[in-house]
Amino acid sequence: MITIPRIKRAPLRAAFPAFPDRRVILFLDLNETLIRTGEVGLRDRLTEQRQHETFCELCVALAARRPPLDVVLLTGNSFEYSRRIEEPLGLKNRAGIDVTIVSENGLLARAFRRGDLWRETPAPAYAEATMRFLDAMKRDQKLGAAFYSQGNEVRLTLKPVANRFLDEELTVATAIAERSDPRGAVQFYFHPFYIDADPKEIIVDGHARPFGGKAYAVERLLAEEDRFPIAIGDSLSDAPAFASVAAHGGCSFLIGNADHPRLAGAIRVGAPFAAGVNAVLRALLDAP
């Protein structure tokens, strides 16, 4: 018998007065939401492993209640990185669970039961602006050696060579971004753990169309079939997904370690990281 640890969840219960009457689709951020990044000691790593086991058990239980359950790992990271997070969980092999990885903040989607779903192309102005930005960052005395570029397939992400970018480094990077992108072709996200550069527009059938970051993936997957969407995240780049989920009558959650105390429409969870994710899923499972 599987026993799922109980979590304090009184404030979350109100989010799910009844179990959704539609299939559930869970949009889940990875870094600093399902997993902690940076150096993590053995004790904390083991704790996280147990929490991931609980996470999988909760997903299985939710899928049993109304199959199938869609789990969408919705991340600013690359596909290969995300696949490596999913692999030890083994979720994609569980009955009644469909796992999709939407990487690079919505530009790429691959599903484990359906293969490649989409791969978007940024508008040409994006490539010009990000090239100027990257050149200027490399030439900057303070920042030139402070980052490396993430192994993305479509767009640019910079990661700090130290564990995190300092506030003053992000301030300089913000000024460089403003100078490099006079036409506003790039949606920059500046965070201590990353600098994401998303395109404001993508090319669809030869025409430039607005690209809404993580909201793009929410809209596109919900257009296939109406489902009850739930989004869980920790940072500003999750805000577009939260807004889109709200527009579709779903619920969004900002976990305990989030760097923003609040984001429009999101319910704040007390517990951090995977424990926060589990608290949300437990509350959903317990809904009458």
Handedness of CA 77, 81, 84, 85 (dihedral sign): negative
* Residues 213-242, interacting with Mg ion (CB under 5 A): 234-235
Q: Encoding tokens for residue 80?
A: 């290969």
Using the contact rule CB under 5 A, the part of the chain among 33-41, 91-99, 174-182, 196-204 near Mg ion is 33-41
* Of positions 7, 29, 73, 74, contacts Mg ion by CB under 5 A: 29
| 3-class secondary-structure state, position 124 | helix
Which sign, positive or negative, has the C-alpha torsion 193, 239, 67, 57?
Answer: positive
C-beta of 29 vs 181, nearer to Mg ion:
29
Nearer to Mg ion, 30 or 91 (CB): 30
Please, what is the minimum distance in Å from the beta carbon of residue 267 to Mg ion? 17
Residue among 7, 9, 25, 32 that touches Mg ion (CB under 5 A): 32
Under a CB-based contact definition with an 8 Å cutoff, are residues 198 and 155 in contact? yes
Residue 82 or 180 with smaller CB distance to Mg ion: 82
Q: In what order do the strands lie in the sheet with 186-191?
A: 147-149, 156-160, 194-199, 186-191
- Give the nearer residue to Mg ion in terms of CB position, either 77 or 100: 77
Cα 142 to Cα 97: distance, rounded to the nearest angstrom: 47
Instruction: Between 235 and 252, name the residue whose CB sits nearer to Mg ion.
Output: 235
Candidate ranges 31-39, 79-87, 183-191, 252-260; the one touching Mg ion (CB under 5 A): 31-39
By CB under 5 A, how many residues form the interface with Mg ion?
6
- Report the site for Mg ion in 70-129 (rule: CB under 5 A): none
Are 102 and 119 within 8 A, CB to CB? no
Q: Which phi-psi region, left, alpha or beta, contains residue 227 (left: φ > 0; alpha: ψ -120 to 50)?
A: beta
Q: CB of residue 32 vs Mg ion: minimum separation in angstroms?
A: 4
Residue 115: how many other CB atoms lie within 10 Å: 7
Residue 130: both structure tokens together: 């990000």
Extract the tokens encoding 283.
């509350």
Q: How far is the CB of 29 from Mg ion (least distance, A)?
A: 4
- Supply the minimum distance, in Å, between the C-beta of residue 208 and Mg ion: 28
Q: Is 31 in the site for Mg ion (CB under 5 A)?
A: yes
* In the complex, minimum distance from the CB of residue 237 to Mg ion, in angstroms, rounded to a whole number: 7
Sequence-distant (≥ 6) Cβ neighbours of residue 264 within 8 angstroms: 239, 242, 243
Q: Which is closer to Mg ion, CB of 179 or CB of 260?
A: 260
Residues that bind Mg ion (CB under 5 A): 29, 31-33, 234-235
